[in-house]
Amino acid sequence: MTNRKIVIIGIVLGGLLLGVLGIGMFGVKDTSRIKTKAKLSTNELLDRTTNSDSLLLNDYIEKAIEVTGPIKDITTKDNKTTILLHGGHASKLVICEMQTNQNKYMDQLSKGDVVNIKGVFKGVLLDAILLNCILIEKNNNG
């Protein structure tokens, strides 16, 4: 083979590899198809961000977890809905960025409603962050 053919084959294979890796790394997860790793209340999750249990949260990173708690706020921007859940921590929240296929349920929700949301846990900065979230249940008593 000539050097030119080897370079062309290398470029094509490299492009295919980058394409496959890009889809795997940045593809949107369908959370409804992922097994739930843990079921926690907002208080349980937020408590683990502030004490010695915080190392336990490492087991949940990039895993689907369910969180139940009251809605503090619902925002929508660029067809992306974010639900903020609060608990007993005045300065900490659980941020749930919803999958776009969940937008049809957002009109049924209000501040103060208690909901069960499943999402992929990304970690904690000031707040706990869940992405690709789906609504599991709205507590009618909330």
Each domain of the chain, given as residue ranges in start order, spans 1-29, 34-139
Q: Name the residue with higher pLDDT: 3 or 127.
A: 127
Rounded to an integer, the average pLDDT of 62-85 is 95
Tokens of 132: 């690709």
CA distance 75 to 133: 14
pTM above 0.85, yes or no: no
Q: Closest by alpha carbon to 42, among 20, 25, 66? A: 66
Return mean pLDDT, the chain.
83
Rounded to an integer, the average pLDDT of 42-62 is 81
Tokens of 58: 């490492």
**Which pLDDT score, from 0 to 100, does residue 24 have?**
46
**Which pLDDT score, from 0 to 100, does residue 20 have?**
47
**Which pLDDT score, from 0 to 100, does residue 8 have?**
64
Instruction: Quick: pLDDT tens for 83-119.
Output: 999 988 888 999 999 999 999 999 999 999 999 999 9
Nearest 5°: CA angle at 65, between 138 and 141? 20
**Which pLDDT score, from 0 to 100, does residue 1 have?**
64
Which amino acid, 114? V
Residue 32 confidence (pLDDT) above 70: yes
Rounded to an integer, the average pLDDT of 69-75 is 96
Looking at the structure, give the CATH architecture of the domain made up of residues 34-139: Beta Barrel (2.40)
Residue 26 confidence (pLDDT) above 60: no
Which amino acid, 86? H
Residues in the chain: 142
Most confident of 17-21, 44-48, 132-136: 132-136
Residue 17 confidence (pLDDT) above 60: no
**Which pLDDT score, from 0 to 100, does residue 10 have?**
55
Which amino acid, 45? L
